[in-house]
Amino acid sequence: MKSMLPLCALASLLAFGPAHAADTLTKIKDSGSVTMGVRESSGALSYTLGDGKYVGYHVEVCQHVLADIQKKLGLAKLDIKYQPVTSQNRIPLVQNGTVDIECGSTTNSAARARDVAFADTTYVEEVRIAVKANSGITSIAQLAGKTVATTTGTTSVQLLRKHERASGIEFKELFGKDHADSFLLLESGRADAFVMDGQILAGNISKSKNPADYKIVGEVLSVEPIAIMIRKDDPTFKKAVDDSLVAMMKSGEIAKLYDKWFMQPIPPLNRAVGLPASEATKYAWAHPNDKPVEDYLKK
């Protein structure tokens, strides 16, 4: 009998776990709560003000989505819990059910879609290079022999390596644990350049002591669709998220949120990032879709 108990318990867990994790709407309705994955320093998309407070364009977009889901489920109250995630742990935390909806700065890619699902694209990113304004660097070709910072676990690492092979230039790579850490490598002089999503570069520059000391230069290395990440094989939840996003796109609400976080002064320093919505982002709003980055690279 003793030997049977663990097997029964394991069978019960295996049967209950995946089904419960897959049905996110039921999980939210039963618990009256939802866990949002957020980033601590992903530019104006998602960042912390300290004391457990998280803000940004993607955070507020998700708050609107969850308000619609609360209404759909008929919940008088919905408790939103915020779980900080990193580039390295965001996918596992969505997969294992710790995070229900990830609202940071994740690129929708075919490789990631094997493990998680993505809602319709809410922002299209351009990967660029940030340098000190007095560095003399204006293109990636001038990074030969230099030290370049990027963030561990991001797609910019692969882009950098691909470009290095194509150009035959050699440079040293330094990896920050998050975007703030990567910018600090540039700020402190340990790195000559920081390669990352343009909005993250612009956001970190706007929050620095002297924004005029930095500039974004060089070629656009990649155009990448950024999207809300959710668990795989949960079509009901994906539809609920997408329906809310499409309504925001059609009403113009999403454009207003973008303007609020990228063109107006934002906390804590009340400085504007100053990054107008790209034509690719506007197209994604006008033509809602969940296409991965590979579709953009074909163009």
In 3D space, the residue among 181, 198, 185, 201 whose CA is nearest the CA of residue 146 turns out to be 185
Strand partners of residue 224: 125
Say how far residue 226 (Cα) sits from the centre of its chain.
6
Confidence of residue 4 (pLDDT cuts 50, 70, 90): very low
d(CA 140, CA 232): 37
Give 22's pLDDT tier (boundaries 50, 70, 90).
low
Q: If we measure between CA atoms, which residue out of 155, 218, 153, 151 comes closest to residue 191?
A: 151
Owner of token pair 């920050």: 176
Domains present along the chain, CATH in parentheses: 21-125+225-297 (3.40.190.10), 126-223 (3.40.190.10)
- What pTM does this model have? 0.80
> For 38-62, b where at least 16 C-beta lie within 10 A, e where not — what string?
bbbbbbbbbbbeeeeebbbbbbbbb
Maximum average pLDDT range among 4-8, 13-17, 138-142, 244-248: 244-248
Looking at residue 197, its pLDDT comes to 85
Q: What residue type is assigned to position 5 of the chain?
A: L
Read off the DSSP letter of residue 112: G
